[in-house]
Chain A
Amino acid sequence: MPGLSLRGISKQYGHTQALDGVDFDLVPGEIHALLGENGAGKSTLMNILCGRIQPSAGQIFLGDQPVQFTTPQDAKRAAIGMVHQHFLLVPMFTVAENLALASQTRQPPLQEAAEMAKRLGWNIPFTTRVADLPVGTQQRVEILKALLGNAKILLFDEPTAVLAPPEVEELFTVLRVLRNDGRSLVFVSHKLNEVMALCDRVTILRRGRNVGTVAVSETNAEELAHRMVGDAVESAALESMRSVGPDKSLTPLLSVAHLSTVGGPDAVALRDVTFTVQAGETLGFAGVDGNGQAELAAVLIGLRAKSAGSIVLRGQDISRLSPRDLERLGMAYIPPDRHTEGLALTLSIADNLTLEAANLPRFRRGPGGIFLDRAGLRAFAAQLAADFDIRANDLAQPARSLSGGNQQKIVIARALWRKPDLLVAVSPTRGLDIAATRYVHARLRQRQAEGGATVLISTELEEVIALSIRIAVLYEGKIVGIVPPETPRETLGLMMGGQAQRGGQAQGNSHG
């Protein structure tokens, strides 16, 4: 089986050089990591390999043969399969129908798929609708799809992003089986520990260039982090700095008791959720995505109704208040997805920075405050941009013109400039590179040091461990336990899989 080689691959978007003369070799029987920060060009390279976009320059070789992929079909014919991070499955179709769609046949290639599933030790319900399957199983369907037609080269785009730790281990086992069968695998990631644990070789991309390909056995996480980020930065990006603790002398700032919500087709029901947060404390919520995190955040910030229980902030029941009222009471929110809930991308950076500030009396003019002090708001936005290191040429530009990191800084600035007593932060660093992540974490720690309370909800276990004083684990809408961050990862992983903590630890800490 021939290997795959890329020579001098470049891709230009307008003035942006997404890829710049990248060489890349994939040999049969290896798992080759593609490591890099956001914006390093990993996705662009993957999309070129699977025929979704064409390079501006450079050549792809299969063995010695130059090849050209103008459509995804071309790549498929060359036995290249792609497992997308955002699955390309039709949710309303059954597994079998999705496989038929992928193979472009009327009859689903069930026998081939079943044999493959058996080889990988999977039990796939072929007649179930994809929408009704858990995320881990959906990913298996996506992998089966990529394997159809006996793909020899498999591209995995951040496959662990959606998985719980135990599922990650299972996935790794499967990937090793696929490798040992003689396939070659590209594993895209920005998680160093995964690369170290799984891969044979690693290619590091930085700003569209290949800055080195090394055998994993001859390197270590520190060196990889160093190469990935470039200038000398310490590798321990997520080291914990819990110097400031909660003020135990006070009554809790926030106490949530027996909180429940009604579930639905798109929503997990919260069940009897009870916890407290002190001033100066960060309570982290860990868990696999889709176990009630979104619902918990929505209830806390007033966008979702509870069915039972209470949410008390400084002695006041706030469970029926609107987002606006909560904001006045000193609450702020960092939404999980800056594009859907955080920003109005087509509006200017200045407008986005002042979405809440526009309500302040000092920026209101005229009878009933119906007019806005636009000049004052512009000055305010400029101040925030300076304070939060938002790098923009012109604040009148639309927010979409900013990089992801700078966009997220807008969201962070809006949440933190008021020095909120209670911050609800959901996946505050999703999709950010190491430098931007570190910046956001520093800001969150600073707020905690100033005495702010934070409810941190994140699917990144490392992030929760790094920032939290206590960690609550959510599973199917319930708190499995509340434990200190020193708890072993394996234990946390088990809890995220729904296995409750035995012993007193889980209960003992739940009252602060």
Chain B
Amino acid sequence: MAELLRQALRTFAALLTAFGLTLLVILLAHQDPRAALSALATGAFGSPYALAETLTKAVPLLLTGLGVAIAFRARLWNIGGEGQFLVGALAASALGTSVLKSLPAFILIPVMLLAGTVAGALWAGLAAWMRTARGVPEVISTIMLNFIAAQLLSYLLHGPMQEPTHAQPASEALPPAATLPILWAGTTLHGGVLIALLLVGVVAVFLFRTRAGFALSVVGANPEAARVAGMDVTRTRLTTMLWSGGLCGLAGGIELSGVVGSLYENYSPGYGFAAVAVALLGRLNPWGVLASALFFGALNAGSGSMERSAGVSANLSYVLQAILLLVLLASQRVRWTPRRNVVGEST
């Protein structure tokens, strides 16, 4: 419990520091920080619509954040959430606009989301396979796969998957049956939020109550000890990356079906990257990730209103995100490479 409290305090301190630095940026830009903050708060929590917007914006962050968190727990540095998100959306879009589109919603939507999940998992699986079979560091390969996914998206939107009129580099809009239902009339809140919340619980049970989750944390803490204890390290790494990519791919599918409706270039405003900050702020714990996704969701929802009524650029929320990530990394000293155990035993 003491450990948990210490972690919470440290996280809070990191948040305060990041906020302080961001306010400094606002001041340097000769803007009024008080007005900016109040506009931010109104935009995030000021009305039912704003609350729904916060939740909606939190969904992709939550799912990608969960995906990144389980990979990081196994000390697999999946920085490829962005690419997995994109291919997930691509797969969902391809199926949602295919011959299947005449299917009823209760079949079509699950099929689309499943396709997105599988596509994301396979995209991450490529990196996992290269890591386990050839020793390619997944930090590098997942980043590279992000670029490939972005170019793939661009190519498909200018070619095979372009909308029928060929007027814009965008995909065909999803039919109504492929669109996630709105939960709260008059707002943007869609059914995907329920899926995301459910998955928080599923991931928590997986990590803390299953044998596979136990193996995952042991492999993350010390792969050699895991091997000696009879655990299959390679298989654990592979399946962890598949889970991780699957969650990011699902996020892509849900965002498409619940919010955007059709693909275009720059379809993701960097969810896969923000996911790293979400996961770290949540201390890689599923419940923590839920809290931090809501926080970032509020930030994203509020930044629009901040721009409109306080004249502070909405991009400031990305500045805060980036500063927060750096502060968090500095505060918790994440080990990016397996630590060499050169502990001097002698005294």
Interface residues of A (CB under 8 A from B): 36-44, 85-86, 157-158, 161, 188, 301, 303, 322-324, 327, 333, 335, 337, 339-347, 351, 355-356, 358-359, 364, 369-372, 374, 397-398, 404, 414, 430-431
Contact A303 B227 (CB under 8 A): yes
Contacts of B344 on A, CB cut-off 8 Å?
43, 85-86
Interfacial chain A residues near B229, Cβ < 8 Å: 323, 355-356, 414
Q: A322 CA to B229 CA in the complex, in Å?
A: 11
B27 to chain A, nearest CB (A): 38
Q: Bound complex: CA of A396 vs CA of B208, how far in Å?
A: 14
Of B55-63, B140-148, B213-221, the one touching chain A: B213-221
Residues from chain A with Cβ under 8 Å of B342 in the complex: 86
B336 to chain A, nearest CB (A): 15
Which of B211, B232, B343 is A369 in contact with, Cβ under 8 Å?
B211
- Provided the pairs A351-B217, A351-B218 are in contact, do residues A374 and B230 lie with their beta carbons within 8 angstroms? no
Partner of B228, one of A37, A42, A333, A371: A333
Q: Is the CB of B209 within 8 A of A372?
A: yes
A53 to B102, CA, bound (A): 73
CB distance B347 to A343 under 8 Å? no
Interchain residue pairs A-B with the least CB separation, the first 7: A431-B345, A344-B221, A324-B230, A355-B229, A344-B222, A339-B341, A42-B347
Please state if B217 and A347 are interface contacts (CB–CB under 8 Å).
Answer: yes
Question: Which residues of the other chain, B, contact A339 by a CB distance below 8 angstroms?
Answer: 341, 343
Complex: A483 Cα to B224 Cα, angstroms: 34
B-chain residues with CB within 8 Å of residue A374 when the two chains form the complex: 208-209
Q: How far is the CA of A369 from the CA of B343 in the complex (A)?
A: 37
What are 19 A-to-B residue pairs whose CB atoms are below 8 Å?
A188-B346, A303-B227, A324-B230, A340-B222, A344-B218, A344-B222, A344-B226, A345-B221, A347-B221, A355-B225, A355-B231, A356-B230, A358-B211, A364-B211, A371-B209, A371-B210, A372-B211, A372-B214, A430-B345
Asked whether, in the complex, the Cβ of B346 is within 8 Å of the Cβ of A337, the reply is no
Residues of A within 8 A of B210 (CB): 370-372
Instruction: For residue B154, give the distance in angstroms from its CB to the closest CB of chain A.
Output: 41
Bound CA span A347–B217, Å: 8
- With A43-B347, A347-B218 given, can you name 20 additional A-B contacts, CB distance below 8 Å? A85-B344, A157-B346, A158-B346, A188-B346, A301-B228, A323-B227, A327-B230, A337-B341, A343-B225, A344-B222, A344-B226, A347-B217, A351-B217, A355-B231, A359-B230, A371-B210, A371-B211, A374-B208, A398-B3, A431-B346
- Set of chain B residues within 8 Å of A324, measured between Cβ atoms: 230-232
Report yes or no: B230 in contact with A42, Cβ–Cβ below 8 A: no
The distance in angstroms between the C-alpha atoms of A44 and B225, with both chains bound, is 29
Q: Could you say which interface size class chain B belongs to?
A: 20 to 34
Question: Do B347 and A370 touch (CB < 8 A)?
Answer: no
In the complex, chain B residues whose CB is within 8 Å of the CB of A44: 347
Name the B residues within 8 Å of A303 (CB-CB). 227-228
User: Is the CB–CB distance between A340 and B341 below 8 Å?
Assistant: yes
Contacts of B227 in A (CB 8 A): 303, 323, 341
Q: How far is the CB of B5 from chain A (nearest CB, A)?
A: 13
In residues 157-181 of chain B, which contact A (Cβ within 8 Å)? none
**Complex Cα gap A339–B231 (Å):** 17
Query: Given that A39-B347, A339-B343, A346-B221 are contacting pairs, would A358 and B214 also be in contact in the complex, using a CB cutoff of 8 Å?
Result: yes
Interface centre among A44, A372, A374 (most CB of B within 10 A): A372
Q: Mark B84-95, 1 if CB is under 8 A from A, else 0.
A: 000000000000
State whether the Cβ of B322 lies closer than 8 Å to any Cβ in chain A: no
CB-CB contacts below 8 Å: B228-265 with A = 228-232
What residue of chain B has the Cβ atom nearest to residue A366's Cβ?
Answer: B210
A322 and B218 alpha carbons, distance in the complex (Å): 18
Complex Cα spacing A38 to B211, Å: 36
The answer to whether the Cβ of B204 comes within 8 Å of any Cβ in the partner chain is no
Q: Residues of A contacting B225 with CB < 8 Å? A: 340-344, 355
Asked if B212 is an interface residue, CB under 8 A from chain A, the answer is yes
Shortest distance in angstroms between B203's beta carbon and chain A's nearest beta carbon? 14
Contact of B345 among A355, A370, A404 (CB under 8 A): A404
A343 contacts across to B, CB distance below 8 A:
222, 225
Complexed CA–CA distance, A85 and B344 (Å): 9
In the complex the two chains form, what is the Cα distance from A370 to B224 in whole Å?
23
Asked whether A38 lies within 8 Å of B230 as measured between CB atoms, the reply is no
Cα–Cα distance between A27 and B233 once the two chains are bound (Å): 55
Instruction: List the B side residues contacting A341 at CB < 8 Å.
Output: 224-225, 227-228
* Minimum CB distance partner of A39 in chain B: B347
A412 to B78, CA, bound (A): 36
Find out whether the CB atom of B228 lies under 8 angstroms from the CB atom of A85. no
B122 to chain A, nearest CB (A): 23
- Smallest Cβ-Cβ distance to A84: which chain B residue: B344
Once the chains are docked, how many angstroms separate the CA of A44 from the CA of B347? 7
> A41 touching B221 by the CB < 8 A rule?
no
Most chain B beta-carbon neighbours within 10 Å: one of A358, A404, A430? A358
Whose C-beta in chain B lies nearest to the C-beta of A370? B210
A340 with B224: CB separation less than 8 A:
yes
**Shortest Cβ gap from A186 to chain B (Å):** 13
B230 touches A40 (CB 8 A): no
In Å, the complex CA distance between A505 and B91 comes to 73
Task: Select from chain B the residue with minimum beta-carbon distance to A18.
Answer: B347
CB-nearest residue of chain A to B340: A340
Residues on B with beta carbons closer than 8 Å to the beta carbon of A431:
345-346
* Contact residues in A for B231 (Cβ distance below 8 Å): 324, 355
**Would you give the 0/1 interface string for B178-221, flagging 1 where the beta carbon is closer than 8 Å to chain A?**
00000000000000000000000000000011111010011001
Nearest CB of chain A from residue B214's CB, rounded to whole Å: 6
Contacts of A86 in B (CB 8 A): 342, 344
- A337 to B225: give the CA distance in the assembly, Å: 10
Q: B218: which A residues are within 8 A, CB to CB?
A: 344, 347, 351, 355
